[in-house]
Amino acid sequence: MDFTNLLIYWYLQNKRDLPWRNTQNPYLIWLSEIMLQQTRVAQGMPYYLAFTKAFPTVFDLATASEQAVLKLWQGLGYYSRARNLHKTAQHVAFELNGIFPDNYNELLQLKGVGDYTAAAIASFSYNENVPVVDGNVFRVLSRFFDVNLDISLASTKKEFQNLALELMPKNDAATFNQAIMEFGALQCVPKSPNCTICVMNKSCAALQKKKVDQLPVKSKKTKVSHRYFNYVIFEDDNQHTLISQRVDKGIWHNLYEFPLIETETATDIITFAEHLESFDLLPNRITNITLLSPNHPIHKLTHQHLHILFWKINVKGVIDGGIDYEKLKTFPFPIVIYNFIENHFLK
């Protein structure tokens, strides 16, 4: 058997029963594809089920508030996906009468939809002959055909798209695309794949040449920056605290957080107390300063490592605009802050 027949044979024997595979509804497929960007299926599944229950149609999602969407997305990460999801739902619902574009080129015009997502929706919903190319596809094709091109380069992506298009059966793009992604997710995994049970092992060029662990080639390294966040949990005589919404562009845009002091390096209590002078209600109302996170939790994002400390500041009197701890859980927070709230205030 050739590559395509072997692949589809394997897929039909091994594919997972995933809810978005049992529909051609472009809304549901779009929703799943946005959620699964840079996210494992096991992590994304509960969110998909929660979203489809809360927002069964694109109109339901479009008419929801952004805060409700962000709250339901809480913990899935890459929150720009949620904001783009909401804006695209509004565009489709109110400007396209609830009807998703039915081809790859028009799908590309939707906010938050790139080459991969447009190809997935076009092939899964409309069976358009367009190949999906993601990390799984790079890995499978580079190993089977011994392709040594650097996948960090845009030109390489085009090469893989052309190769996948050649291999794709012209009457069943959806099955081929699902199959090659599933094969990469379950069998041809990034590290230590079990090649002894692989249906491709007699034909895989990388296996024959003992290069499986060398492919795909990727030269560009992600540069990681370190940031030091000091969150201030004010507590007044009514046990109320302060939060605010992050309005600046960047990480966690439109999510909520405690007042933040960002420093260039890790800080101790003396240095931290000096920074507190920037808050109007200080220093004459401070009664106590407590470090609530002595283990210095590090929250790792793709390009940033956040070194996070939570400081509790007891203050005299009543804080203007303060809210109680129970109400905190109704706001969308970055998951690292929400977990802190649950551990310290919602037990």
Residues known to be catalytic: 33
Closest residue by Cα to residue 104 from 116, 88, 112, 96? 116
The Cα-based distances of 21 to 5, 92, 186 in angstroms read 20, 22, 16
Sign of CA dihedral 137, 142, 147, 150: positive
d(CA 186, CA 201): 15
Contact status, residue 263 vs residue 275, Cβ threshold 8 Å: yes
Q: Which residue has the tokens 């840079």?
A: 38
Contact status, residue 149 vs residue 217, Cβ threshold 8 Å: yes
Contact status, residue 38 vs residue 211, Cβ threshold 8 Å: no
Interhelix angle for 66-73 vs 41-54, to 10°? 150
d(CA 229, CA 231): 6
